[in-house]
């Protein structure tokens, strides 16, 4: 009597290697069927209507090398860190391995060799990912100083923080003399746990790097009778000067647009001057910096 064949894998709830499938008796012809995807070489997964980052990370696990950990842009995506479009739009997975091992070399993978301490990764997603602190340090080689601050602000934000500023400081100290460490050290002093949007952070850093006074972040303002007027993105309270970043939703959302106008009017009635900024100002900050410098000089003399 011939030995009983193992039941074939038809639609497993995880990705699997071709070798694993063949050991279960699945033929090569079956593995070429349309109901299986080929996310990476030598790997199959049940076809999905949409593929998310977590799905792609799980798909590669059958080929993940010993000591491998998702890092850099991939880890940032898993933590929902605000990356610039030049990075957030990429689909490759970043995988780091200990420096004594060979970097992963596969289609759709960007491999890194690095030193990983026991505090640099965890399994909060069900597989190894660099911690938010270590991820922030790794991103320093890819981001500008303002972009790095925007990510750091998001990590320590009072609303749903993922770590504390002290954790980031400790990670920078452990990071050592690697590429981007100078910006990391500068970024630590520029972080604010009161920031509520990446664009707001970019605007604040542009102002500070231009040598202008650091504005107050998200200050709540009330009129003389104690009525709440609003929470200002950035401001110089002693000058009653506020600065607001206006994203596209402020223009396209009718209710938001009407609310913005009413708030601006209320601030003006209370003696405030409001300056509004858009993405165009962030793309070319020299223009608005010159104007802001002139306004500050006028208000202080």
Q: What is the pLDDT of residues 209-229, one digit of tens each?
A: 999 999 999 999 998 899 999
Is the pLDDT confidence value at 181 over 70?
Answer: yes
Task: Give the Cα separation of 226 and 224 in Å (integer).
Answer: 6
90 neighbors 82 (Cβ within 8 angstroms)? no
Q: CB atoms < 10 A from the CB of 247, how many?
A: 14
Query: 233: pLDDT confidence band, cut at 50, 70 and 90?
Result: very high
Specify the DSSP class assigned to residue 237: G
Task: Give the Cα separation of 110 and 116 in Å (integer).
Answer: 17
Task: Give the Cα separation of 55 and 1 in Å (integer).
Answer: 42
Report the predicted TM-score, pTM, of the whole model to 2 decimal places.
0.83
Task: Give the Cα separation of 90 and 183 in Å (integer).
Answer: 23
List domains and CATH numbers for the chain: 1-50 (no CATH), 64-190 (no CATH), 198-299 (3.40.960.10)
Provide φ and ψ at 31, rounded to 5°. -70, -15
CA dist 294 → 36, 280, 299, 300 (Å): 62, 19, 9, 10
Tokens of 252: 């396209």
Out of 252-256, 276-280, 285-289, pick the least confident. Answer: 252-256
Share of the chain above pLDDT 70, in %: 91
């Amino acid at each position: 009597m011939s030995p009983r064949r193992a039941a074939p894998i038809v639609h497993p709830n995880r990705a699997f290697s071709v070798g694993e499938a063949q050991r279960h008796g699945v033929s090569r012809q079956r593995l070429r069927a349309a109901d299986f995807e080929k996310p990476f070489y030598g790997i199959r997964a049940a076809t999905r209507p949409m593929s998310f980052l977590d799905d792609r990370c799980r798909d590669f696990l059958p080929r993940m090398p010993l000591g491998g950990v998702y890092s850099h842009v991939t880890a940032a995506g898993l933590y929902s860190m605000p990356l610039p479009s030049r990075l957030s739009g990429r689909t490759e997975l970043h995988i780091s391995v200990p420096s004594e091992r060979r970097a992963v070399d596969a289609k759709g993978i960007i491999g890194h060799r690095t030193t990983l301490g026991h505090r640099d990764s965890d399994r909060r997603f069900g597989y190894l990912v660099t911690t938010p602190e270590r991820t922030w340090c790794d991103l320093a080689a890819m981001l500008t100083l303002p972009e790095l601050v925007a990510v750091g602000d998001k990590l320590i934000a009072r609303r749903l923080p993922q770590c504390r500023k002290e954790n980031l400081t400790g990670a920078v100290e452990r990071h050592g003399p690697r590429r981007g460490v100078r910006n990391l050290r500068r970024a630590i002093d520029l972080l604010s746990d009161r920031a509520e949007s990446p664009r707001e952070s970019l605007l604040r850093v542009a102002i500070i790097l231009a040598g202008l006074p650091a504005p107050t972040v998200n200050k709540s303002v009330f009129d003389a009778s104690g009525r709440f007027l609003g929470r200002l993105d950035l401001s110089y309270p002693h000058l009653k000067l506020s600065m607001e970043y206006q994203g596209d939703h402020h223009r396209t959302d009718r209710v938001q647009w009407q609310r913005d106008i009413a708030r601006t009017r209320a601030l003006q009635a209370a003696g405030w001057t409001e300056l509004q900024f858009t993405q165009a100002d962030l793309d070319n900050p020299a223009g608005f910096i010159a104007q802001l410098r002139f306004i500050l000089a006028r208000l202080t003399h």
